[in-house]
Chains A and B, each alone.
Chain A
Amino acid sequence: MALTPLSLLTRNTILCCTTAWLCVAGPSNADDIEPGGKLLLTRGISSVDGSGGGGIVPWALITGNETDRGIGATAHLTSVILPDFDVISYGAGIGLRDRLEFSYTHQALDTGSTGPKLGLPDGYTFSQDIVAMKVRVAGDAIYDQDTWMPQVAIGAVYKQADHGSLLSALGAEDDSGVEFYVSATKLLLAQSLLLGGTLRYTDANQNGLLGFGGTSEASIYPEVSLGYMLSKRLIVGGEYRAKPDNLAFAEEDAWLDLFAAYAINKEMTVSAAYADLGSIATFDEQRGLYLSLQVGF
Chain B
Amino acid sequence: MYRLCIAALAGTCLTGTLAMADTLPGELPVDPYEVSNANAGAEPVDNPDMFAAFHGQAGIDRIVDDLVDRVTVDPRIEEIFRASDLVRLRRTLKEQFCYLLDGPCDYTGRDMVAAHKDQGITTREFNALVESLQFAMDTEGVPFAMQNKLIAKLAPMKRDVVTR
Contact = CB atoms under 8 A, between A and B. Distances in A.
Interface of A: 34, 36-39, 67-70, 98, 142-146, 189-192, 229-232
Nearest to B135: A232
Given A70-B124, A143-B158, A190 B149 contact: yes
A189 B123 CA distance: 18
B153 A145 contact: yes
A67 B152 contact: no
Contacts of A189: 148-149, 151-152, 155
A145 B123 contact: no
A235 B131 CA distance: 17
A228 B37 CA distance: 32
Nearest to A69: B122
Contacts of B151: 189
B148 to A, nearest CB: 5
B156 A190 contact: no
A297 to B, nearest CB: 13
A191 B151 CA distance: 11
Given A69-B122, A143-B158, A190 B131 contact: no
A37 B144 contact: no
A192 B150 CA distance: 11
B127 A144 contact: no
Interface string B118-129: 000011100110
A36 B42 CA distance: 28
A69 B124 CA distance: 9
A143 B144 contact: no
Given A67-B127, A146-B42, A229 B156 contact: no
B134 interface: yes
A39 B156 contact: no
Given A189-B149, A190-B149, A229-B144, A146 B156 contact: yes
A39 B124 CA distance: 9
A39 B127 contact: yes
Interface residues of B, number: 22
B47 to A, nearest CB: 9
B89 interface: no
A145 B155 contact: yes
A178 B124 CA distance: 35
Contact of B124 (A67, A146, A190, A192): A67
A145 B130 CA distance: 15
Contact of A192 (B122, B128, B148, B156): B148
A67 B130 contact: no
A46 B82 CA distance: 40
Contact of B156 (A143, A231, A232): A143
Contacts of A230: 144
Interface in B34-68: 42, 45
A129 to B, nearest CB: 34
Interface in B106-152: 122-124, 127-128, 130-131, 134, 144-145, 148-149, 151-152
A171 B18 CA distance: 78
B152 A145 contact: yes
Contacts of B156: 143-146
Contacts of B42: 146
A38 B155 CA distance: 13
A69 B123 contact: yes
Contacts of B127: 37-39, 67
Contacts of A67: 122-124, 127
B124 A142 contact: no
A191 B164 CA distance: 29
Contact of B152 (A69, A190, A232): A190
9 contacts: A37-B122, A37-B128, A39-B127, A67-B127, A69-B123, A146-B42, A189-B149, A229-B148, A231-B144
A48 to B, nearest CB: 29
Given A143-B159, A192-B145, A229-B144, A37 B152 contact: no
The 5 closest A-B pairs by CB, nearest first: A37-B124, A189-B152, A67-B123, A190-B152, A145-B152
Given A34-B122, A39-B131, 17 more contacts: A34-B124, A37-B128, A38-B127, A67-B123, A67-B127, A69-B123, A143-B155, A143-B156, A143-B158, A144-B156, A145-B155, A189-B149, A189-B152, A189-B155, A190-B148, A190-B149, A192-B144
